[in-house]
Amino acid sequence: MNKAWPSDLQGKFDLVHQRLALAAAGPTQADAVHNLGALVKPGGWIQLIEASNDIPADSGPALHHFVTAVGGVYAAFKSPFHIGKELARYVREAGFEDVHDRVIDVKLGAANPDAELAKQGVLSTTFAARNVAGFAKSEYAVFCLLNGSHAYRRGSVFWC
């Protein structure tokens, strides 16, 4: 996503959707958004979803610990931690008009009044936490970080 997409894809899509991937773009999220925007047809739409990584004051310690761990991943990629707050600016800079920015508070675990959604929130966050921990423990991530590179995962293999 940090490189231009193939020319035969440029301007071909009515809608381009991306979510929770820009942290992997490192410090060049604006360029990644520009590259994604180039895929959109004139009059088309781009939809980006990223976390602001703001934690509600009434959140429990588990969420605080999880977001702290996620912050380590952002730091490893040299990405701004509050990337969700930059999206509207990136989209405008990519030449889009009629830009809308919406913040959606997600209530996880006991903070969610719906018991089923609370359970699903715990399960999905636990799954994400395991993956963050697995990445952090990998020899590839450590090697790449010690050598000033980003680590990328393709399947079960990490690349620098």
What's the pTM? Answer: 0.76
- State the pLDDT at residue 49: 93
Task: Please calculate the CA angle 47-51-54 and round it to the nearest 5 degrees.
Answer: 145
Rank 1-10, 64-73, 144-153 by mean pLDDT and report only the highest.
1-10
What H or E segment, with its residue span, contains residue 65? helix 61-76
Q: Are 49 and 83 in contact (CB under 8 A)?
A: no
Domain ranges for the chain: 7-159
Query: Distance (Å, rounded) from C-alpha 10 to C-alpha 18?
Result: 16
- State the pLDDT at residue 75: 82
Closest residue by Cα to residue 51 from 121, 128, 127, 103: 103
Q: How confident is the model at residue 155 (pLDDT cuts 50, 70, 90)?
A: low
Reported as a single tens digit per residue, the pLDDT across 76-128 is 778 888 888 899 999 999 999 999 999 888 787 778 889 999 899 888 888 88
